[in-house]
C-alpha cells in the first residue's frame, strides 16, 4: 500500500508526495490545476479546486498522511467539551490499559522531560502520580501536564482514536456510544470518527474530515436510517443498530435516545422522526409489531413519508408473515428467519451505498 503525504504548499496550494506509482499518477492527472514540481518531486494542486476531502477520497485504499500544517484546527472550546466528556465517562478514558501504556500510544513519554527530579522522563512522572501515589486526577493530567488544549490537531485526533481503539475499549457497544458522542462535538469543526478497518472483527476508528458532500447530506437530517420495531424484538434490533453505529451510520434507535426523548410529547416526537429526512426506515415486522400501539404510530408516520416521497423509503424486514395495514404485499422484503443481525446490517450498509467490511 503506497503512502501519500499531503502538505501545505505556497499560497493556497496543496502538495502531494508519494513514491512513483503509475496508478496514483493517473489519479493525480484527473485533478484540475495540477502541476508537477520536478525539483521537489511533488505534485501541486490548488486547494480551492481540490479540497482536502476530495483528495482523501481520491486516494482511498492508500495510506494518506495529512501534515499538521494542513489539518484544520479543533478549537479550544470543542477540545474542552471533549475532554470533560471523556473524564466523566463511567470507565476511564484509557480503558483497560494502564495510563502510561495508553499515553505511550500517542506521545513518546520517554523523550519528554520530567518535572520531578526523581525521574528521568514523563513516563516516570505519570506513573508516580497516577499509579503509585494517585495524587493527580485525570483533569490535571490532561489539561495541565499533557496540555491537550495546546497540542497540535494531529496529536489530539490520535488521542481520540486511541480512546475508542478495540485494544483500549473492547466492548463494541460502549465504543459506539462514545464515538456517537464525540462525533456530535467534532462535527462543529468538520471532523468525524469513522471505521477505517476491522481487527479480529472489531472496528478501528479513524478521524476524518467530513467531505463537503457529506456535510450537505448531514444537513438533510440527523439520521441515515430509522428503526421501527416491537419491544419483543429488541435483542435482535440492538445488534443491528450496534453493527451500523460502529461503522459510522447515523441510526435512530430509541434505547440510545432516552436522554433526548425524556419529557417530550412522544406522539409529536416520533412523528417527526419517522416522517423526517432519514434516507430509509427499516420496519421489523412481526405479530407483535402489528399489535403494539407505538409501533403502529411509527408505522403510520413512515407510511405517510413513503407516500409523499414517492421513492424507496420503507425497507420491510420480516420475523413472520403478519400482514401490515397500508404496506403493499408486493414490496420486496428481507426474511429475518434466514438472516443474522449482522447479515441484515451488512445489507443495510450496502443499501446506503457504504463500504462493507
Same fold, 3-70 and 220-351: no
Sign of CA dihedral 10, 16, 19, 22: negative
Flag the least confident range among 123-137, 224-238, 341-355: 341-355
Tell which residue, 250, 240, 246, has the closest CA to residue 220: 250
Is residue 132 within 8 Å of residue 142, measured between CB atoms? no
Tell which residue, 309, 281, 308, 307, has the closest CA to residue 295: 281
Average pLDDT over residues 26-37: 92
Q: DSSP label at 31?
A: S
What is the distance between the alpha carbons of residues 34 and 13, in angstroms, rounded to a whole number? 10
pLDDT digits (tens, 9 = 90+) for 279-310: 999 999 999 999 989 889 898 999 888 887 76
pLDDT at 228: 94
pLDDT at 258: 77
Average pLDDT over residues 192-221: 66
Q: How confident is the model at residue 217 (pLDDT cuts 50, 70, 90)?
A: very low
Q: Does position 71 have pLDDT exceeding 80, yes or no?
A: no
Q: Cα 183–173–348 angle (5° rounding)?
A: 75
For 112-227, where are the alpha helices, taking DSSP H only?
Answer: 122-126, 138-139, 153-163, 172-186, 212-218
CA distances to 173, 224, 307, 353 from 220, rounded to whole Å, are 26, 10, 19, 17
What is the distance between the alpha carbons of residues 48 and 293, in angstroms, rounded to a whole number? 53
Residue with cell 484527473: 30
What is the distance between the alpha carbons of residues 184 and 197, in angstroms, rounded to a whole number? 22
CA distances to 95, 116, 128, 148 from 123, rounded to whole Å, are 18, 11, 9, 16
Is residue 286 within 8 Å of residue 320, measured between CB atoms? yes
Tell which residue, 106, 115, 83, has the closest CA to residue 126: 115
Burial-class residue 46 by CB neighbours within 10 Å (0-12, 13-18, 19+). Answer: middle
Is residue 280 within 8 Å of residue 302, measured between CB atoms? no
Q: Does position 220 have pLDDT exceeding 60, yes or no?
A: no
Write down the mean pLDDT value for the chain. 87
Q: DSSP label at 233?
A: G
More confident residue, 62 or 98: 98
Sign of CA dihedral 54, 56, 62, 65: positive
Q: DSSP label at 331?
A: S
Beta bridge partners of 251: 225
pLDDT at 221: 56
Report the topology of domain 220-351: Rossmann fold (3.40.50)
Beta bridge partners of 318: 285, 335
Q: Does position 89 have pLDDT exceeding 60, yes or no?
A: yes
Pairing of strands 314-318, 280-285: parallel
Percent of the chain with pLDDT over 90: 46
For 92-233, where are the alpha helices, taking DSSP H only?
Answer: 99-104, 122-126, 138-139, 153-163, 172-186, 212-218
Q: Does position 120 have pLDDT exceeding 90, yes or no?
A: no
Flag the least confident range among 15-24, 43-52, 139-148, 319-328: 43-52
Average pLDDT over residues 325-343: 90
CATH 3.60.150.10 fits 3-70, yes or no: no
Q: Does position 149 have pLDDT exceeding 90, yes or no?
A: yes
pLDDT digits (tens, 9 = 90+) for 161-196: 999 999 999 988 888 889 889 988 998 888 888 777
Give the residue extent of every domain in the chain.
3-70, 76-210, 220-351
Q: How confident is the model at residue 355 (pLDDT cuts 50, 70, 90)?
A: low
Average pLDDT over residues 106-117: 89
pLDDT at 17: 94
Q: Does position 16 have pLDDT exceeding 60, yes or no?
A: yes
Q: Does position 317 have pLDDT exceeding 70, yes or no?
A: yes
Flag the least confident range among 135-144, 179-188, 236-245, 348-357: 348-357
Tell which residue, 175, 187, 241, 238, has the closest CA to residue 214: 187
Tell which residue, 47, 55, 49, has the closest CA to residue 11: 47
Q: Does position 265 have pLDDT exceeding 80, yes or no?
A: yes
Average pLDDT over residues 257-262: 79
What is the distance between the alpha carbons of residues 18 and 28, in angstroms, rounded to a whole number? 11
Q: DSSP label at 252?
A: E
pTM: 0.56
Q: How confident is the model at residue 211 (pLDDT cuts 50, 70, 90)?
A: low
What is the distance between the alpha carbons of residues 244 and 176, in angstroms, rounded to a whole number? 9
Amino acid at each position: 500500500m503506497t503512502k501519500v503525504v499531503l502538505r501545505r504548499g505556497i499560497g493556497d496550494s496543496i502538495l502531494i508526495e508519494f513514491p512513483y506509482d503509475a496508478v496514483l499518477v493517473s489519479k493525480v492527472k484527473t485533478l484540475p490545476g495540477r502541476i508537477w514540481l520536478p525539483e521537489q518531486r511533488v505534485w501541486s494542486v490548488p486547494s480551492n479546486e481540490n479540497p482536502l476531502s476530495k483528495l482523501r477520497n481520491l486516494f482511498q485504499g492508500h495510506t494518506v498522511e495529512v501534515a499538521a500544517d494542513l489539518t484544520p484546527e479543533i478549537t479550544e472550546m470543542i477540545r474542552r467539551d471533549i475532554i470533560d466528556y471523556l473524564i466523566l465517562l463511567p470507565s476511564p478514558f484509557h480503558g483497560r490499559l494502564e495510563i502510561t501504556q495508553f499515553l505511550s500510544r500517542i506521545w513518546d513519554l520517554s523523550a519528554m522531560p520530567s518535572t520531578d527530579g526523581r525521574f528521568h522522563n514523563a513516563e516516570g512522572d505519570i506513573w508516580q502520580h497516577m499509579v503509585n501515589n494517585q495524587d493527580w486526577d485525570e483533569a490535571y493530567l490532561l489539561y495541565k501536564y499533557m496540555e491537550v488544549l495546546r497540542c497540535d490537531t494531529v496529536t489530539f485526533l490520535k488521542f481520540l482514536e486511541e480512546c475508542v481503539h478495540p485494544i483500549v475499549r473492547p466492548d463494541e457497544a460502549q465504543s459506539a456510544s462514545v464515538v456517537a458522542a464525540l462525533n456530535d462535538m467534532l462535527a462543529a469543526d468538520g471532523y468525524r470518527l469513522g471505521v477505517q478497518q476491522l481487527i479480529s472483527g472489531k472496528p478501528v476508528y479513524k478521524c476524518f474530515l467530513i467531505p463537503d458532500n457529506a456535510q450537505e447530506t448531514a444537513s438533510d437530517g440527523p439520521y441515515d436510517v430509522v428503526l421501527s420495531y416491537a419491544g419483543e424484538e429488541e435483542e435482535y434490533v440492538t445488534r443491528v443498530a450496534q453493527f451500523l453505529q460502529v461503522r459510522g451510520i447515523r441510526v435512530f434507535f430509541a434505547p440510545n435516545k432516552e436522554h433526548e426523548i425524556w419529557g417530550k410529547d412522544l406522539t409529536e416526537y416520533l412523528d417527526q422522526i419517522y416522517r423526517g429526512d432519514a434516507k430509509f426506515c427499516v420496519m421489523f415486522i412481526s405479530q407483535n409489531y402489528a399489535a403494539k400501539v407505538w409501533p403502529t404510530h411509527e408505522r403510520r408516520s413512515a407510511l405517510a413519508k413513503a407516500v409523499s416521497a414517492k421513492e424507496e423509503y420503507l425497507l420491510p424486514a420480516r420475523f413472520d408473515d403478519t400482514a401490515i395495514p397500508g404496506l403493499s404485499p408486493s414490496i420486496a422484503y428481507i426474511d429475518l428467519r434466514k438472516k443474522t443481525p449482522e447479515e441484515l446490517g451488512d445489507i443495510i450498509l450496502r443499501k446506503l451505498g457504504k463500504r462493507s467490511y
